[in-house]
Amino acid sequence: MSTSYASKSLPVHLARGFVGFGLVAASIALAPVVGWISLLALPLGVLALRGCPTCWAIGLAQTLSRGRWERTCEDGVCRLEPARGR
């Protein structure tokens, strides 16, 4: 299982956020109009966000930094540095 929340591209990740946040907001906003049935959209929104808004935000940061940074560890000290060859 991968611990990365990044998407293949930024447009894909932003679309996932648009759909996820839209479904979550719609499920809450439509509750007074259509009742509890609107809450069925909530799990779909959470699924699109890959668990929670924080997970989506972490994935956004990972998508933006993909390939631009690398972690190097020497003598028990790890550093985040710009990727070589860029």
Domain locations along the chain: 10-82
**Mean per-residue pLDDT for 3-20?**
88
Phi/psi for 11 (5° steps) reads -60, -35
Q: Tell me how many degrees the CA angle 71-72-77 measures, rounded to the nearest 5.
A: 110
Q: Which residue has the tokens 């028990």?
A: 76
Give 21's pLDDT tier (boundaries 50, 70, 90): very high
Supply the pTM of this predicted model: 0.72
